[in-house]
Chains A and B, each alone.
Chain A
Amino acid sequence: MPVPMRVCAGRARLCALKALRLKPSSRRSGPVLLGLLFVLALLFTGLPRAVAQEPPYFVAYSTAMEEPGNLEIAFKGLAASPKNANAFMSHTLELEYGATAWWTTELYLQGQSTSNDSTVFTGFRSENRFRFLPTEHWINPVLYIEYENNNEADKSLMEIVGHDSIADLQLNNSSTRPEIERELEGKLILSSNAKGWNFSENFIAEKNISNEPWEFGYALATSRPLALAGSSRACTFCRQNFTAGTELYGGLGTSHGFGLEATSHYAGPTVGFQLPHGPDISFSPQFGLNDNSTGVLWRFKVSYEIQQFRDWFRRGGAR
């Protein structure tokens, strides 16, 4: 159901603060504290880490795969204050493993905290990405397959498909939590790298395992490091450690009604920072482009890549 007017237009900062200022609840602090502990652990850990190749996208995927044997642990957050709904914060813990150079597998554990409501665990997702061409081309394809077992309280907005809209965020957790959705999702990921720029295009098809129509969506993104050549000095705030880009994504209706009618769309800048010998940090304010969209989605991600994790299980150890 389309909801008129944007929520946070012109009040972006206020909305973000409101979204983050969650009222206390008996079960609320768990995931937030867990996330903070995770970030601190990453900052101070002495584990060997690698620089991830991935551009700082939140919804779109590039064809960059996890390097074989590496394990990336990431915390993804999303804060928003939709119109006529309580502010919320979504938490996602992501474990990404490079099984081979052409196969990356991921597990997501998800939850959310809604102001004046509750904190709930919403479910999990398991995804696999397959790169099936052996060499680079102007456009490189990757096949993405995901199984999702989430309840309808999920507010991670990891993709927008079908007629997803702000109305989905206006329901109480108590009414959405009992509704379990089991979905299969496929993506065709296309990506190009030229002169330091990355251009990525994703076409999304999602199907609830029950008798519901296919839902479609898209995500487009581009990014570039602020400097293309590496510095000869070890430095933290070198331009090469920063990447900036933009992201645009939204729904394309269903197999019963393909198109832009009653769909929501978002766009925004995105910035990534690779802290040398530390985690990667990404941030993006993403703005709703029509009345069906939430005004602003504040997204952030902290990720840490443990290099050659599988060597830990080989004779002789990792180091």
Chain B
Amino acid sequence: MKRRFAAASLLLLSVALVITSQSWASQGWLSKVPAADRARVNPYAGNAEAAAAGKLIFEDNCAKCHGDDAEGRHGRPSLRSQRVAHATDGELAWILRNGQAFHGMPSWSSLPEQQRWQIITFLRTLPTDSKSHTR
């Protein structure tokens, strides 16, 4: 009986943790980026070779949701939006590392940091579309 009670408590605790985490995550991600992360500088900024590498990494990892043209697909956000264009490199690095697990964006922390910066370098080469879906 005690064991069943312990198992049920553990299950309830897990559910409570997930719900609490989801409520924390419901605010806009840009507002949660720490100042130190926001100010981080892309070591590959403006580097054409890094942008070419970033394009290949984007095609392998990001295009499946954001589309080959980065305009988003099936309701997933465009990366040519004003919001992305106005975000700092540090903010984009933060969202790539942390993701937004409760809004569908996985964490890419297991991708080496250099490759995440290369993706951001590639994104900066894309034209901004003012009509793009933003989220």
Contacts and interface: CB of A to CB of B under 8 A. Distances in A.
B107 interface: yes
A230 B53 contact: yes
B104 A100 contact: yes
Interface in B74-106: 74, 97-106
B102 A101 contact: yes
Interface string B48-88: 01101110110011001100000001100000000000000
A114 interface: no
A69 B56 CA distance: 21
Nearest to A68: B104
A101 B101 contact: yes
Nearest to B105: A101
Contacts, number: 107
A263 B59 CA distance: 46
A136 B107 CA distance: 8
A232 B60 contact: no
Interface in A53-88: 53-55, 62, 64-65, 67-70
Does more than half of chain B's interface fall in helix, strand or loop, or is it mixed? helix
B114 A64 contact: no
Interface in B95-129: 97-115, 118
Determine which residue in A54, A64, A195, A316 has the highest number of CB atoms from chain B within 10 A of its CB, and name it.
A64
Interface in A28-72: 48, 50-51, 53-55, 62, 64-65, 67-70
B12 to A, nearest CB: 13
A156 interface: no
Place the interface of chain A in its size category.
35 or more
A118 interface: no
A196 interface: yes
B130 interface: no
B114 A132 contact: no
B69 to A, nearest CB: 13
Interface stretch (A160-168, A170-178, A307-315): A307-315
30 contacts: A51-B61, A65-B107, A67-B64, A68-B104, A101-B104, A132-B17, A132-B21, A134-B25, A134-B98, A134-B101, A136-B98, A140-B109, A193-B110, A196-B112, A228-B113, A228-B114, A229-B114, A229-B118, A230-B114, A230-B115, A230-B118, A232-B49, A232-B53, A233-B52, A240-B115, A276-B60, A308-B65, A308-B74, A311-B74, A316-B74
